[in-house]
Amino acid sequence: MKDNWRFIQTDFGGAYANMAMDEAMLITYSQGKIPPTLRIYGWRPPAFSFGYFQNPEQVLDIAKCNKENMPFVRRITGGEVIFHHQELTYSLVCSKDKIRGRDFVENSLKTICLFLINTYKKLGLSPKFAIEQNPYLFKNNSTKRRNSFCFASKEKYDIVVNGKKLGGNAQRRRRNIIFQHGSIPLKSDIDTAIPFLKEKPLELKSNTCSLQEVLGRGIEFLELKNVIRNSFEETFSVNLQEEVLIFEEEKLFHELKEEKYCSLQWNLHQIDNFRNSRMEKDDSFYQKTCLA
């Protein structure tokens, strides 16, 4: 018998709202109040998100962001800075057993990203994990140099198409619960993003791609959403049932947005003060990763 998952599309939101809703989902699920959930959303206006452990002043030109009204927000997941604009973003929360998860984060990332592999295959592409394309590259991870911009780095289970990285994912664990979200670029926004970055990624255009580039045509948000939904159901043998946020989740979302994600202290200064809050205290560890 197939498990029932909740499917939520929250359309296009701002940076603070998007990240607050993701965390509200994680907390509410950990309290046993909602079923496993897949969420699809977009970003409006464009914004940068950066990893939990990153110092934004080291990776972003904050003065330029402020001058040009470019929002930036800290994620609850690790990894590097991402520019969100012409893209589809997904997030999901579930227990490890719901996706045949393993104790190792790397294994669960690979398992979850299989629905993206299937999505791209349905679109007529030939996606691979980066380690399948070039196993030698990952024989000695300690010698790898990470870039502060997510799409400029490659990890084992990044997804590549025609040798180029497509999108980025990050994960966070709370005991046996998995939260993951990921960015799928519909069109390239590299030229818009680079002026705001402190570190200018070398050869970014030759190492990354958007769906428009690899498909040779434009693809709309709605079309990709429908393919993702079908692929997710097939990959994990589940039923996605379209629903909305519950009352407690909606209330928590607004609290998180106003008290945390709109806060300069969270986004720009010390995060230690949040670790003892009800939003952070129950986490077993923070996983720094940027994949797919």
pLDDT, tens digit, 9 for 90 and up, residues 209-249: 999 999 999 999 999 999 999 999 999 999 999 999 999 99
Q: How confident is the model at residue 284 (pLDDT cuts 50, 70, 90)?
A: very low
CB 239 within 8 A of CB 2: yes
Tell me the whole-structure pTM to 2 decimals: 0.89
pLDDT value for 137 = 67
Token couple for 14:
């701002």
CB 117 within 8 A of CB 184: no
Is pLDDT above 60 for 103? no
For each of the domains in the chain, give its residue range(s) and CATH number, in order of start. 3-274 (3.30.930.10)
The catalytic residue positions are 150
Calpha distance 28→252 (Å, rounded): 8
Range with the poorest average pLDDT among 150-159, 177-186, 225-234: 150-159
Of 205 and 211, which is predicted with more confidence?
211
Token pair 């719901």 in the structure block, residue:
98
CB 159 within 8 A of CB 165: yes
pLDDT value for 268 = 92
pLDDT value for 106 = 72
Calpha distance 84→150 (Å, rounded): 11
Residue 178, phi-psi category: left (phi > 0), alpha (psi -120 to 50), beta (remainder): beta
Q: How many residues are recorded in the chain?
A: 292
Of 137 and 15, which is predicted with more confidence?
15
Calpha distance 45→68 (Å, rounded): 12
Residue 203, phi-psi category: left (phi > 0), alpha (psi -120 to 50), beta (remainder): left
Q: How confident is the model at residue 101 (pLDDT cuts 50, 70, 90)?
A: low
